[in-house]
Amino acid sequence: MKTTLITGKINGIGNITAEHLLHQGHRLVLANRNRDKFAAQCQALASASGNDNIE
């Protein structure tokens, strides 16, 4: 399993990239300043990809 770090905003191309990597089985480490949006985004990515290996 590969671990990938994505920094900055997780929307648009970052969101698509994150979802694609999760579908491939990657473990994602996301860095974002807004905790509320971050938590919601992690939940949405986990639901869409079926992979909840997100930190």
User: What is the pLDDT at residue 7?
Assistant: 85
pTM across the whole model:
0.82
Of the candidates 28, 24, 19, 26, the one whose C-alpha atom is nearest the C-alpha of residue 49 is 19
Pairing relationship of beta strands 27-31 and 3-7 according to DSSP bridges: parallel
Mean local confidence (pLDDT), 33-48:
88
Which tens digits make up the pLDDT trace of 4-39? 998 876 678 888 899 999 999 999 998 888 888 888
3-state DSSP assignment of residue 15: helix
Neighbours of 7 (CB within 10 A): 10
Beta bridge partners of 28: 4, 54
pLDDT of 45 > 80? The answer is yes
Of the candidates 39, 36, 34, the one whose C-alpha atom is nearest the C-alpha of residue 52 is 39
